[in-house]
């Protein structure tokens, strides 16, 4: 297993060409085990995300009495999940969500309605991320949940019990908070109605629709009735993670000789903001073989060397690409003109302060970036030069810097690079597999 402290060196290849098999989508994988854990009966889930975050969810659920087996030889991504019909066991020990806010927040919603005592903790990054946004609506539902620092930080302590539905406006466009409230709402008395100011990823709503819950969505509002019978298990093949694909979309667009194909990539419209943004910048991206599997759309995506220009992005577009903004910043560095990213203050409370960290590290490489409280202004077209940079223990910063290294002069040395294991353990192998060092390819990239 790679150490998170591992150092990786990236030098620019002469061309980028090939196909990448993406890991399963992280957000959908968390939900596949949580919602099937609530169901009555067994579900088969394939292409489960291999990263540590989803493993944290699996471990927590196992400690709560959900039977989860790997089918086939390790490291199989095929799981058999036996649901609890909605009755979870009290965990013998503290539940550890590691680096994963999705694990912590969704399980907090679920455990608020279970008649057991639970304590959920995480690593130092997770224990410094905001939990008040979650605790507040759960309190309104009658949950007994406490956290450090006046209920604003983990570890969280939950004494589950009866809940009532709420009619609530989500101030933060967070799919994690929304999903936590829905998990609590399934176990509450009376209807739960949520009003979103902006759409966030809707995987939970899709799972609930497919598994027999009474849920309706209208525009940005969601109504959910409590469960009158356990959820029906859902077999599914998880689509490839568009958040992992984003690094290669940017790499393909900015490298002068590139043609990359990303097979079976999830294209849920609440996640495709990165494709829209890159297309607006002029990226040559094609979607082929578009289809629906389970209740989620997917496609094969190909990207080629492109001439990018700067864009302005903000408002409701932000939640649709929130995790991809560090990669988008790299695209902005290589674009002609100015790229302005606003309304993205949420990035400051992710696994690290992503506005500060990506701005700092890309600036070390020669980029010109002005940090804003809620985003950044990137003055594109500056030559990047490889140097020593840091991931700040954040998987998305590590992968974005690796992509910047593909177009920088010289060697980019990334410390704490093993952190990619959080979401994409085979990232370095994928990158290696498409990086070629001689001009023999039959592609049609710029200047080829």
Provide the edge-to-edge strand list for the sheet that holds 435-436.
Answer: 284-293, 296-304, 258-266, 15-21, 435-436
Cβ proximity of 112 and 184 under 8 Å: yes
Task: Report the C-alpha dihedral over residues 327, 319, 302, 78, rounded to 10 degrees.
Answer: 100
Q: Which is nearer to ligand S3P, 285 or 325 (CB)?
A: 325
Name the one range near ligand S3P by CB under 6 A: 68-76, 148-156, 173-181, 250-258.
173-181
Minimum CB distance to ligand S3P, residue 145 (Å)? 17
Which pair of tokens denotes residue 103? 């694990």
Q: Which helix (H) or strand (E) holds 12?
A: none
- 103: region left, alpha or beta (phi > 0 left; psi from -120 to 50 alpha): alpha
Name the one range near ligand S3P by CB under 6 A: 172-180, 280-288, 292-300, 437-445.
172-180
Helical ranges in 309-435 per DSSP H:
325-334, 354-364, 395-405, 427-434
* 201 interacts with ligand S3P by CB under 6 A: yes
Helix (H, G, I), strand (E, B) or coil at 354: helix
Residue listed under structure tokens 């992280």: 26
As beta bridge partners, residue 390 has 415
Cβ proximity of 301 and 275 under 8 Å: yes
Given 323, 343, 374, 394, which residue is catalytic? Answer: 323
Nearest to 63 by CA among 55, 75, 52: 55
List the one residue from 323, 361, 390, 394 that touches ligand S3P (CB under 6 A). 323
Name the one range near ligand S3P by CB under 6 A: 120-128, 169-177, 209-217, 252-260.
169-177
Window 407 to 436, contacts with ligand S3P (CB under 6 A): none
- Complete DSSP assignment for 238-263: PPB-HHHHHHHHHHHHHSSSEEEEEE
Q: Which is nearer to ligand S3P, 268 or 339 (CB)?
A: 268
List the one residue from 27, 103, 357, 415 that touches ligand S3P (CB under 6 A). 27
- 433: region left, alpha or beta (phi > 0 left; psi from -120 to 50 alpha): alpha
Name the one range near ligand S3P by CB under 6 A: 15-23, 175-183, 362-370, 383-391.
175-183
Q: Which is nearer to ligand S3P, 103 or 412 (CB)?
A: 103
Minimum CB distance to ligand S3P, residue 123 (Å)? 15
Residue 56 CA to residue 68 CA, distance in Å, equals 13
Minimum CB distance to ligand S3P, residue 409 (Å)? 32
Cβ proximity of 352 and 393 under 8 Å: yes
276 included as an active-site residue: no
Q: Which is nearer to ligand S3P, 4 or 30 (CB)?
A: 30
* 324 interacts with ligand S3P by CB under 6 A: no
Minimum CB distance to ligand S3P, residue 243 (Å)? 7
Minimum CB distance to ligand S3P, residue 174 (Å)? 3
Name the one range near ligand S3P by CB under 6 A: 5-13, 35-43, 171-179, 359-367.
171-179
Minimum CB distance to ligand S3P, residue 428 (Å)? 21
Window 97 to 116, contacts with ligand S3P (CB under 6 A): 102
Cβ proximity of 173 and 198 under 8 Å: yes
* 176 interacts with ligand S3P by CB under 6 A: yes
Minimum CB distance to ligand S3P, residue 342 (Å)? 16
* 284 interacts with ligand S3P by CB under 6 A: no
Q: Which residues bind ligand S3P (CB under 6 A)?
A: 27, 30, 102, 174-176, 179, 200-201, 322-323, 346
Annotated catalytic sites, by residue?
A: 323
């Amino acid at each position: 297993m790679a150490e998170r402290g591992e150092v990786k060196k990236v030098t620019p290849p002469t061309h980028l060409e090939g196909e990448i098999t993406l890991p399963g989508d992280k957000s959908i994988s968390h939900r596949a085990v949580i919602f099937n854990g609530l169901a009555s009966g067994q579900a088969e889930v394939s292409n489960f995300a291999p990263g540590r975050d989803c493993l944290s969810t699996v471990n927590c659920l196992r400690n709560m009495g959900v039977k989860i087996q790997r089918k086939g030889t390790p490291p199989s991504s095929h799981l058999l999940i036996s649901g609890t019909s909605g009755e979870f066991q009290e965990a013998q020990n503290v539940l550890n969500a590691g680096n994963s806010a999705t694990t912590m927040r969704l399980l907090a919603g679920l455990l608020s309605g279970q008649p057991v005592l639970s304590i959920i903790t995480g690593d130092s990054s997770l224990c410094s991320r905001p939990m008040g946004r979650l605790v507040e609506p759960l309190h309104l539902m009658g949950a007994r949940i406490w956290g450090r620092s006046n209920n604003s930080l983990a570890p969280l302590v939950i004494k589950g019990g009866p809940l009532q539905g709420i009619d609530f406006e989500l101030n933060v466009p967070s799919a994690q908070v929304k999903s936590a409230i829905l998990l609590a709402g399934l176990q509450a008395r009376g209807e739960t109605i949520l009003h979103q100011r902006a759409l966030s990823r809707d995987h939970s709503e899709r799972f609930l629709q497919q598994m027999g819950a009474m849920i309706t969505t209208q525009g940005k509002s969601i109504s959910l009735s409590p469960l009158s019978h356990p959820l029906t298990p859902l077999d599914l093949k998880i689509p490839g993670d568009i958040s992992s694909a984003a690094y290669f979309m940017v790499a393909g667009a900015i490298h002068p000789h590139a043609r990359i194909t990303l097979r079976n990539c999830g294209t849920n419209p609440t996640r495709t903001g990165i494709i829209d943004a890159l297309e607006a910048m002029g990226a040559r991206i094609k979607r082929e073989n578009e289809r629906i599997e389970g209740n989620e759309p997917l496609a094969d995506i190909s990207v080629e060397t492109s001439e990018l220009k700067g864009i302005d992005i903000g408002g409701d577009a932000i939640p649709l690409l929130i995790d991809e903004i560090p990669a988008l910043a790299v695209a902005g560095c290589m674009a002609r003109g100015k790229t302005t990213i606003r309304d993205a203050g949420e990035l400051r409370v992710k696994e690290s302060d992503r506005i500060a960290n990506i701005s700092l590290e890309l600036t070390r490489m020669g980029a010109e970036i002005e940090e804003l409280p809620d985003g950044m202004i990137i003055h594109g077209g500056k030559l990047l030069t490889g140097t020593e940079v840091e991931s700040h223990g954040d998987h998305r910063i590590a992968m974005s810097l690796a992509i910047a290294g593909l177009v920088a002069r010289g060697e980019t040395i990334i410390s704490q690079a093993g952190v990619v294991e959080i979401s994409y353990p085979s990232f370095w192998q994928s990158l290696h597999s498409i990086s070629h060092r001689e001009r023999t390819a039959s592609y049609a990239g710029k200047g080829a």
